[in-house]
Structure 1
Amino acid sequence: MKTLPPALAILLLIGTLSPALAADADTDADGIPDIAEPLLHTDPMNADTDGDGIGDLADSDAVNAPSPIAEGGAAATYRIGELLVENNVDPVAKKDAPDHLELQVFNDGSADLTDYTLFYTFTDNDSGVTEAYVVHPAVLIPAGGEARIHVDEGTMPGHLRANPNSIYLTSMAGKHVTATLQATGQAAVEATVEKDPGGAEQAD
């Protein structure tokens, strides 16, 4: 007997319990009502929460993308500087910002870096639950320069949308965070950081 993807199973359960709930708004048109997305830890505004190319409804684990990182490749011309998950600062407002994933990337090469993949993971230190996401940031990292990639509310240039139902935001446990960056044809670079236990992610 074939096992149903968790999203489909929950959707069927909601429809059985309350047809009114099943007909609730579905902002990202992924087939999962917005009201059910928190139960799955999926993003109601992203039909493919983990970025693996499989829509959330059909995905057997919609918040755990398999790693897209390839082995080998030419020596990387880029490197990760800071990897922040707390004590973030808003450089424009010059004040503390809510905790979020922030990646500083240096480009030591002679060409702008535009074609690259970011693969990042969260592991809940209490429960062992993991999440893994794939994104392709539209953030140019200039030759001989640097840029910062933010995964948060996603409304400003250089900022990507974070999943609001992720364990990063919903679990008070400490978390182990990894970020792996890879440009086409080059070796990947990786950084890790620990996030302290805490509640809602407010500005420090």
Structure 2
Amino acid sequence: MTDISDADQRHTEKMQRIQTARKKMMASKQGGEKGLIIVHTGNGKGKSSSGFGMIMRAIGHDMPCAVVQFIKGNWDTGEKRILTRHFADQCQFYTMGEGFTWDTQDRQRDIAAATAAWEKAKDLIRDPNIALVLLDEINIAIRYDYLDPDEVADFLLTEKPPMTHVVLTGRHAKPVLIEAADLVSEMTEVKHPFKSQGIVAQKGVEF
């Protein structure tokens, strides 16, 4: 018979206390399930990546989903390839942006593109058969005043079906969207290879 060390015994007792506390906490939660408004913001990398991770998770559960990209334009991204080539029947994918604002250099054209993307997004969100909608980099479009943050927040709070999840990504999320959201995560940049080493965006990492 193997003797249990004092450290192992203390670990077991600690985990038992945590388990008991966790069960007590879960028993007190009566909220059930609901469709969430989720915001991924901050200066760090990973906002869109996290959103696409949720898309893949939804597909894994046979939950119909959709993506509307507000900024990236016709970038040949890995996520767009895999979703349009292999999961088109489970995930609708719309690239509505025309590229970064410093590339287009045309504010009215950018506003028109963002407006069209938002109209498409509203149609997708209203569809009760779609379980998860990713609004990729919508926060950037809002930051540059291409869209009204109050209108976006009001729509999500009043017209989104009760069980539909909506994910909004991009830096500088407006306070009204943070207030409206059920879940907000802020990615913090600690170190980035472009700033520290001049390494540009790479396949499989950034796109």
Interval of TM-score (by shorter of Structure 1 and Structure 2): under 0.3
- After TM superposition, the score normalised by the length of structure 1 is 0.25
Bigger Rg, structure 1 or 2: 2
Q: Higher strand proportion, which one? A: 1
Q: Higher helix proportion, which one? A: 2
- After TM superposition, the score normalised by the length of structure 2 is 0.25
Q: Quick one: higher RCO (CA 8 Å, sep 6+), 1 or 2?
A: 2
